Structure formats: structure tokens, C-alpha cells
Structure 1
Amino acid sequence: MRTVGVEEELLLVDPETGEARARSGAVLARVAQDDVDQDVFEKELHEQMLEFATHPQSDMGDLGAEIVRCRKEAARHAGKIGCAVAALATSPLPVSPAVGIHRRYQWMEEQYGIATQEQLVLGCHVHVCVESDEEGVAVVDRVRPWLAVLSALSANSPFWQGKDTSYSSYRSRVWQRWPSAGPTEIFGSAQRYHQRVADMLATGTILDEAMAYFDARLSRNYPTVEIRVADVCLHAETAVLVATLARGLVETAAREWRAGREPADHSVSLLRLAAWRAARSGLTEVLLHPAVMRPAPAETVVRALLEHVGEALADSGDLDRAQESCDRLLRRGNGARVQRELLKRTGSLRDVVVECVRHTQT
């Protein structure tokens, strides 16, 4: 059974006004005082962000329980300094992002300017273990067409600087401002993958290997494929669904590789269009069907993903739970839909944030 770990980035907000607060250093100081979660929480690019990482889990129920626990612990630590945490992929209210003082972050701000200053976006990264770099690159090559579907399921960033963007995942559009971000061509081997990263480093455009911001990549620190397309999900259940489907995609891709099946030869241009469509539509309109790269209803495409990974999910015992979770998500809508419905009901972005603070721990 492949193990899975999840990294989530949470937004620090004022519990009364809903405004983002640059207090990650103070929260981490409280964590250090407790001396229990120091290996779980860490800083991110902006001071309004707090990241946590779960331990590798083979059982999705255990993974879900740990995500909920980490979210509640983040809320507890933040609460001690008068903050709250919200699983929102962008701040609905206007914000002036504060770049952290770490040397790496200062280099990024100097090199990339406003693109760094505006990167107050919060994602969910899923790590799925692989046996080798060769298997990992074979997986990266074969999951490419399906990643936009994960983006649509997780979409949770409709608002930017106090305005509706008309996107379901505006986070993903902001993320594309990094020079190395986005879908990749087919690598074909681990040697070609590593050579491509080395060539990128040699340009001086990125600081290190960790800045190869591919949609799916080999982890620098763990024996995993890291899938990086998802918004941080409003509900923990959705994060577990994304992780479940990610593991299903990795296992399915590895089986295809071992069986000698070639990856779908979709161009990067088409993959970028699929990613844009998912960001724009979420689950409300059409997506590009990964098999043919033509428009199809979002629900049809989600069902196609479930069918594609169905055998792997059945073998891991996750199929029924994944189907039920997909059904609930399609009925309720993703985080973007929930946020828009909250705004329609309350008429206040402040109330949207306050309500999403509650959703974050459920």
C-alpha cells in the first residue's frame, strides 16, 4: 500500500474582521513553547500563512483524522495570539501580503518583484510514495492529463482583493506567474527529468531544485511524487478525497508503466488549456476530458477520473468512500461554490471568512 502525506497551507485571519493577519512567526513561537508540534508546522512565503504537514499514512481514514487534528491544533495555537485559521486558497478581503524575512524569500522578492509580493495563495500538496525515481518519472508522465480534474474538485479561491474573480480557482492563475510553474512535457526517464531540472538551475532563473514548480514532480526530500495542483480545500473531507484520487492516479500510472503502456501524448499547450478551464469553471460548467481534450460536463469528467483509477481504489479499499465523497462534493459544490453562496446569503465577505473559519475544522 502506497503511503500518502498532505501539506496544507492555512490563512491566518482576525476572527472578528476576517482580515488576513501577518502573525505566522508569533504562532510558531507558541508552537515552540508547547514543544509538541514543531515537526508539523512551519513558515511559508508570507507571514499570513501557516503550513502543516501530516505524517505518511497508508489508511485514508487515518490521514483524514490527522488533517482534522492538525487543523484544530493550528486553530488552537493561532487562538492564543488572537488569530484564527481558515482553509481558504486566497484571502476574500483586501490584503497587503508581507513577505517573510527568510533569505530565500528575500531572494525571491528581489528576483520576481510583484509576482512574489502577490503570491499570498494557499495550496494543498499531496505526496505519494514511489519505489524509485524511474517509477516516479513514469508516474509524472502519465498523470499529466488528469491533474486539472483535481484542481476543479479542490477549487476554493473565487475572490481576490475584495472582488469576485469569475474564477473558481484564482489561486492557480496567480501561481502560474512563477517562471517554472505548470504542466510539463513527457520526460521519458529519470535521467531526462534530472537533466531538465539541472538545465533550469543553470539558467539562474530559479534558486534551487525546490523551485521547479511542476504540477507533479519528484520530491527533493522524500521518495515520493508530489502533486501540487490543488487549492487548500475548505473541508478536510475534500482534502482526503484529493489525496485518495492522487494515490489512485499514482498507482494506476505505475501499473500502466509496468505493463508497457505509453503516456497520453497531450501537448503542454493543451494541458495548460485544461488547467485554465478547471480554474475558471471548477465543477459548475464544462472541463476538458483528459482522454480526448474536448469539453464535457464537469460531472462526466469527474466520473471518468473515478473510472480511470477505479481498479487501484478498489484494491486499496478506497473505492466506495471515494465515490460517496465525490457524490457529496458534486451536490454541495467545492469551496468556491460554498464561498459564493455564503456571500449571496450574508452580503459580506467578512462573514464569508468568519463562516469559513468554522468550516475549516469540520
Structure 2
Amino acid sequence: MVGVGDTVGVEEEFHVVNGETGDLEPAARRVLRGADAEPELHRSMVETASAVHTGLSALRADLAEKRRSLVDASGRHGLAIVSAGTVPSSGSTPSRVYPDERYERMAQEYMQLVDEQQVAACQVQVGVPDRDQAVRITRRIREWLPTLLALSVSSPYFAGQDTGYASYRTIVTSRWPTVGPPPDLDSAAQYERVVATLVESGVISDAGMVYFDARPSARYPTVEVRVADSCPDLDDVVLLAALARALVTVAAEEDDAGRPLPEAPQVLLRAATWRAARSGLGGHLVDPTTRSAVPAGVRIDALLQHVRPALEARDEWDTALELLAALRSRGTSAHRQRQAGSHREVVLALAAETAKG
């Protein structure tokens, strides 16, 4: 029988850009004709989804192959693929949504929010067979989600400006009505009632529009961790997958042991997310449990110790340490982008990093 955390998968969103100028190009359909990928909200975006895996090596190989498929397909048309929360031209020019009935309905309903939703995320799917437990797990892991965001930050630029944020994607998406930390729910029935109310009220049109930072998947027996920016360096994606799966595993063990569900005011959880989006690893992060600000490195180390038993049980502890050390050494993508030069140079560097796989 498949247990909690036995399987993991990743969905990556990408920008389609002009291979010379680095500007967004509404050319997803051309790319999709020759790539193992799916359309996304905008015509300048595509998405890949890995198969279901049990080990990190196979997951990485799968994601690398899908990136190669996108890079090859885009290159035939003078285009490039970028894995990052935003590119500098994100939000500069409204683009038409991909020709899909659902996307067109969203554009009519949400207007400017859709126009500016030229952002890309990385989502980790962790197997959780029991949906009641999946809801409780999202509540148990939510205090750690801003730390995952801080590791992934890759969106300092928007509408041609340096926003001052490490993850401006987080700020853009925060305006949607169903975004943010998972709510105080403890059963699938409660969760489904909330979703049904949101649909019936017309706030959202379907369950797939619940965009909590972690949620029970609308389609699969998984917990979906959705807080992270897309990452140009594939090693960072693998690190996020390892940490997210370990968080879910530890949360399930706490749930099985009957430990009380953690309490944290939503305002502090939202503040912790904002803090991570603002400074990434370059400052302090908020600990919603102790209600204090701590250096980002301290919070990361606390996360590592929290999930160490789950990582060691899967022989992934050394891998996680190695990947994290590499990330700390090179700096976050947001930090590296600010060292790259012009906006064009930023995007071309991101495209090269994405293609490296």
C-alpha cells in the first residue's frame, strides 16, 4: 500500500521569451507543437508535469528531459524558455490568454488580475492517500512554507522595474481571493464546504482556482505545495521537492501520533510570507509559532532539523545538505539576477540556466 510521502512529482511553469530581446512572446502554441508540455494561462507561458516518482534522481532526470524538450522546441522558432517567477517584461503589456474556455472565462471575470498574472511557480505534489489527513497536513506545514519560498525567490523584476522584492510573483498572486496560507480546517468535509461556498458565490468557478500555498490537490491524492517561485537551477527544484516531501511526511507522523494541530494567527502567517517575498535569504524571516523574527539562515537550519528524520529515512539527508550548501554558495536566483546587468542580460542568463538542466 502506498503511504504518505512515498511518491513525489513536480509541476514547473515557464515563460516563453524572444531569444534575442528577452521580452515575453505570445508563442506558446508554436512551442507546444514540439514539446512535452501543456498550455498555461497566458500565451507566453507553458507548463510541464513530471511523472510520479519515488526517488529524487529519477525525478530530476524526468524534469531535465522535459526542459530539454521545451528548449529544443522553442529554439526552432528563435525563442527561449525561462524558469523564473517573473522576467523583467512581466506585467508590462497585457497579453491574451491561451485560447481555452476556462482561461477566457477567468479573463472576463478577473480582468486586470489576469492581465498581470505573467508569473511562474513551481509546485510539488506529495502523495497523501487520505484526504482528511491531507487537509490537516496543509495546516501542520504552513508555518514552514515561507521558508521554502525564501529558498526559491526568483522574481525581483516586474513591469520593467526592480521591485525591491525577492519574489514579486508572490505579491502579484496575493491579490487573488483564494491565495495565502492554508486556513484553519481539519477535515476534507470542511474543505469541500469552503470550496463549494466559494464556487456557489461566484468568487471562483471551480476547485482548481483554490490557490492556497498548500492544498489537497483537486485532481490527485496528494498535498500540493505551491508557494515557490519557478527556479532556473534544476538542483533548487530537487531541493524543494525533497524538503516539501519531508515536511509532509513529518506532519503525517505528528497527525498519526495525535499531536494537536498548531495554532498561528492568519495575520502572522501572511506576514511571514510577505517577509520571505520581500527579502528572501537576504534578511530575517518570521517564525509564526514563536512570533519572532530570526535571521534567514537560522530559520533554514530549524527547517532542516525539523525534517531531518524524514530525509534520513529516505537516504536524502546528505543530498539535501549538498543542494542547500550549493544554493547558499551561489545565492538565490533573485540575488544573482541583480548582478547580471541589463534586463536583456538577466533574461538571457536565466534562459541559459534553465537550458542547462
Structure 1 length-normalised TM? 0.94
Q: How does 1:22-41 map to 2 (within 5 A)?
A: 22-31=26-35, 37=36, 41=37
Residue of structure 2 in register with 1:9 after alignment: 13
CA distance in 1, matches of 2:232, 2:34: 25
CA distance in 2, matches of 1:197, 1:207: 10
Q: Are the counterparts in 2 of residues 235 and 361 from structure 1 also a CA contact under 8 Å?
A: no
- Cα shift readout 1:40-66 (whole Å, capped 9, x = no counterpart): x11000011010000011110111111
Note the C-alpha offset of 1:209: 0.6
CA distance in 2, matches of 1:233, 1:92: 15
Secondary structure in 2 matching 1:115: helix
* Pick aligned residue for 1:275 from 267, 273, 288: 273
- Cα shift readout 1:158-211 (whole Å, capped 9, x = no counterpart): 001111000000001101111111113221112111111111112111000101
Amino acid at match of 1:201: V
Amino acid at match of 1:30: G
Structure 1 moving runs of 4+ over 6 Å: none
Amino acid at match of 2:13: E
252-261 vs 178-187, which moves further: 178-187
Q: Percent identity?
A: 40
Secondary structure in 2 matching 1:6: strand
CA RMSD, 1 decimal: 1.2
Q: Are the counterparts in 2 of residues 236 and 361 from structure 1 also a CA contact under 8 Å?
A: no
Residue of structure 2 in register with 1:34 after alignment: none
Secondary structure in 1 matching 2:15: strand
CA distance in 2, matches of 1:109, 1:293: 39
CA distance in 2, matches of 1:337, 1:287: 16
Q: Are the counterparts in 2 of residues 93 and 350 from structure 1 also a CA contact under 8 Å?
A: no
CA distance in 2, matches of 1:20, 1:191: 42
Q: How does 1:79-228 map to 2 (within 5 A)?
A: 79-93=75-89, 95-96=92-93, 97-228=95-226
Amino acid at match of 2:109: Q
Q: Are the counterparts in 1 of residues 268 and 288 from structure 2 also a CA contact under 8 Å?
A: no
Note the C-alpha offset of 1:263: 2.3
Secondary structure in 2 matching 1:47: coil
Aligned positions, number: 350
Note the C-alpha offset of 1:25: 1.0
CA distance in 1, matches of 2:348, 2:279: 25
CA distance in 1, matches of 2:71, 2:291: 41
Q: Are the counterparts in 2 of residues 185 and 267 from structure 1 also a CA contact under 8 Å?
A: no
Whether 1:356 and 2:354 are equivalent positions in the alignment is no
Note the C-alpha offset of 1:291: 3.5
Q: How does 1:236-251 map to 2 (within 5 A)?
A: 236-251=234-249
Secondary structure in 2 matching 1:84: strand
Q: Are the counterparts in 2 of residues 299 and 330 from structure 1 also a CA contact under 8 Å?
A: no
Q: Are the counterparts in 1 of residues 153 and 228 from structure 2 also a CA contact under 8 Å?
A: yes
CA distance in 2, matches of 1:361, 1:62: 18
Amino acid at match of 1:42: E
Amino acid at match of 1:19: D
134-143 vs 228-237, which moves further: 134-143
Unaligned runs of at least 5 residues, structure 1: 32-36
Unaligned runs of at least 5 residues, structure 2: none
Note the C-alpha offset of 1:267: 1.3
CA distance in 2, matches of 1:82, 1:177: 34
CA distance in 2, matches of 1:168, 1:352: 14
Note the C-alpha offset of 1:30: 2.9
CA distance in 2, matches of 1:290, 1:315: 27
Residue of structure 2 in register with 1:63 after alignment: 59
CA distance in 2, matches of 1:303, 1:197: 35
Residue of structure 2 in register with 1:314 after alignment: 312
Residue of structure 1 in register with 2:290 after alignment: 292
149-158 vs 281-290, which moves further: 281-290
Note the C-alpha offset of 1:271: 0.5
- Cα shift readout 1:132-175 (whole Å, capped 9, x = no counterpart): 10221121110110101111100000001111000000001101
CA distance in 2, matches of 1:123, 1:52: 11
Amino acid at match of 1:76: D
Amino acid at match of 1:245: L
Note the C-alpha offset of 1:290: 4.5
CA distance in 1, matches of 2:340, 2:273: 26
CA distance in 1, matches of 2:175, 2:51: 30
Residue of structure 2 in register with 1:45 after alignment: 41
Q: Are the counterparts in 1 of residues 81 and 355 from structure 2 also a CA contact under 8 Å?
A: no
CA distance in 1, matches of 2:335, 2:69: 27
CA distance in 2, matches of 1:52, 1:170: 22
CA distance in 2, matches of 1:263, 1:337: 36
* Pick aligned residue for 2:250 from 249, 252, 271: 252
Amino acid at match of 2:103: Y
